[in-house]
Amino acid sequence: MGSGVGQLGDLVRGVSMTNKGDVLVSDFSNNRLQSFTLQGKQPRVIQFSGFSKPVKPKFTAVTKEGHILVTDGESKQVFLCDENGKLIRYFDKANLNDPMGIAMNSNNGKVYVVDFGSHCVHIYKITGKYIKSFASEGSGEGQLKYPWCVCIDYNTGNVIVSDLEIDHLNVYTDNGDYLFAIGDVPNKEGKCNFPMGVATDKAGNVYVCNNRGNNVMKYDPHGNFICRIDSDQDNLQCPVGICVTDDEPCKIVVSEEYSGLIKVFAQ
C-alpha cells in the first residue's frame, strides 16, 4: 500500500477491463487510475490532465475506442477521458447528485450511471447528453435506496444494479423497466450482504461482491444462485469492485476496499 507506481492507496473503488485485457483500477485515495496485467505486472499510472481540481475516480467503464468513462468523487460529475487520462468531455451535470457505478452498452451506445444520492439510475448518450432516469427511492419492487454499482447483460441488454440498503440486485430492461431481483432469498448461501460491485460474463451469469459478507457470489441470468467464487482460505476482505475477463471460463477480478490488494479468481 502506498503512492508509488504499482502501489494502491488505502481506499480503492472499482476495477474494469481495458481493451488490451489489462485491469484498470480506480486508485481513489491517490487521485489516479492504474492499469496492471492479470498477473499484476507492468503497472501504468494514469494521471488526469485538463481538470481544474484533483480527480477522485470511483468507477470506470471502457469504450470500444479505448476511452475511459469515470465517475468522480471530487466534482460529483461523470467525464470521458482518453487512455492517458486527458479530459475529452464532461457529461450533463444537471441531473447528477452523487454518481457512483457506471456501465456502457456498446450495442446501443447508452451509458448508465448510478446516482447514490438520488436513488436512481441515469441514462446518457456517449456524447454526454442526458436521456432519462429510472427507479425511485424506496424498498418496494423495482425501487432503490442506496444504489452502488451497475453492469450490463450484453446478451439481453438488461441493466443490473446493486443496492446496499435493500441487500439485493435489481434487474431492469435497457430502458429502465423493472424485471426481477437477484439475491433477495431466504437461502443464506444465495442471500446478498451489502452488495457492491457487479459484473456479468459472456453467458449472462452475474457476479456480485458482498462487502460485509466478504465473498463473491455467482448467479445465472435468471437470478438463480450458482456458487460462491472465493473460499474462506482466500481471506477476501471488503470486496468493492469486480470485473470479468472475456475468455472462457472467465477469470474474476476483485478489488478490496481498504487493503490495497486486487485478487484474481479462476473458475
pLDDT digits (tens, 9 = 90+) for 172-194: 999 999 999 999 987 678 899 99
For residue 88, what are the CA distances in angstroms to 71, 85, 227? 14, 9, 41
Q: Is 170:163 a contact under the CB 8 Å cutoff? A: yes
pTM of the complete model: 0.97
Residue 127 confidence class, pLDDT cut points 50, 70, 90:
very high
pLDDT digits (tens, 9 = 90+) for 36-87: 999 999 999 999 999 999 999 999 999 999 999 999 999 999 999 999 999 9
Q: Degrees (nearest 5) of the Cα angle 211, 216, 219?
A: 125
Q: Is 242:207 a contact under the CB 8 Å cutoff? A: yes
pLDDT digits (tens, 9 = 90+) for 76-122: 999 999 999 999 999 998 889 999 999 999 999 999 999 999 999 99
Average pLDDT over residues 152-166: 96
Question: What share of the chain has pLDDT > 70, as a percent?
Answer: 100
| N- to C-terminal Cα separation, the chain | 28
Q: Degrees (nearest 5) of the Cα angle 231, 44, 82?
A: 110
